[in-house]
Amino acid sequence: MSSTVEVADRMTVRGIELEVARHGTGQPVLLLHGMQTFDPRARFFQLLAAQAEVIAPSHPGFGGSPRPDGFETIYDLTRLYLDVLEALPHDRALPHDKVTLIGCSFGGWLAAEIAATCCHRINRLVLVDPFGIKLGDRETADILDVFNTAPDEVQRRSWHDPARWSPDYDAMTDVELTVRARNWDALSLYGWHPYMYNPRLSYWLRRIDVPTLVLWGASDGIVTPTYGRAFAGMIPGARFASIEQAGHHPELEQPEAFASHVLDFLNA
C-alpha cells in the first residue's frame, strides 16, 4: 500500500488523519510537539517559518487529530511518522528529498525513536528537552511525574519564569480547554508505563547517523540539563547547547535564542 499525503489543514497517511499546521517556505522541517500541541501563532513558529517550511502535525489523540482504535503506544507513533517522512518528500510542494526533524519534550522522545529506527529521510535532527531514556535506578526519578505531582509544582518546574508563562486556564475558551484535556489524556496513554521512556532507547541511540543538536532549557525542572547532556552523549557526534532563562519549553520562553540555535544548525 502506498503512502499518500494531503497538505492543507489535514493530512492523511496510510489512512490515518492528522491535523497539521504548515507555514513558511524553504527546506522542510517536521516539527513534533510535546505534552501540548503547538499554537502556530507562537513566536518561535513564525521565526522558523521565515526560513523553512514548518510542518507541525498533532499526534493521534492530540489536538484535532483522531486516534485510531488500538493506536496507543510510542511504537505506533514511531511507525506512523516513518510513513509521514516517506510521504512528505513526494508532495510536489517539497523540492527536497530529506526533512529536518525537530521534536520537543515528548515529541523529542518520539523524534529520537524515529531517527534511531531509520534516518534515510532525515538530514538533521534537533531534540529539545526530550524524554525517552532512563539514567538512574528504579528509585531515581529522572523525569518529573507530571501526572502525580501537584499542578502548581509542575508549573514551577516547567518554566524559568512561571509567573509569566504558566497557562491561565480562566482565560481559555471552552475549545482551548477541551484541546488541553485531550492532549493530557493522550499523553497519559502513550507515556504512562513505563513512565516517559523506552528501556531500550538508550542502547539504540547509537544508530542515529545524522547531524544532531540537543537543546536544553537551563532552568528545566522536568528533565534537567544533566539528563540532557547524558542524552546527547549517547548519540554519535551530537552537539549539546543550553538556553539560559528557559525551562522545559525554551521555544516558548526564549523564542529568539531557540530559533537562532536551530536556524544556525540548519544552515551550517
Torsion of CA 163, 167, 168, 172, to 10 degrees: 160
Nearest Cα neighbor of 81 from 64, 97, 99, 96 is 99
Nearest Cα neighbor of 146 from 135, 133, 156, 132 is 156
Q: Tell me, what's the pLDDT at 139?
A: 79
- Measure the CA–CA gap between 268 and 196, rounded to whole angstroms: 32
Sequential pLDDT tens for the chain (268 residues): 334 444 448 999 999 999 999 999 888 999 999 999 999 899 999 999 999 999 999 999 999 999 999 999 999 999 999 999 999 855 545 555 799 999 999 999 999 999 999 999 999 999 999 999 999 888 788 999 999 999 999 999 999 999 999 999 999 999 999 999 999 999 999 999 999 999 999 999 999 999 999 999 999 999 999 999 999 999 999 999 999 999 999 999 999 999 999 999 999 8
In sequence order, the 6+-apart residues with CB closer than 8 A to the CB of 190 are: 59, 61, 72, 73, 74, 77, 106
Nearest Cα neighbor of 14 from 6, 4, 23 is 4
User: Domain segments of the chain: what residues?
Assistant: 10-267
* 200-225: b (≥16 Cβ within 10 Å) or e: ebbeebeebebbbbbbbbbbbbbbbb
pTM score, whole prediction: 0.94
Q: How far apart are the first and last CA of the chain?
A: 37
> Which residue type sits at 141?
A
Q: Tell me, what's the pLDDT at 96?
A: 58
Q: Tell me, what's the pLDDT at 266?
A: 94
- Measure the CA–CA gap between 208 and 113, rounded to whole angstroms: 9
CATH 3.40.50.1820 applies to domain 10-267: yes
- Measure the CA–CA gap between 100 and 266, rounded to whole angstroms: 8
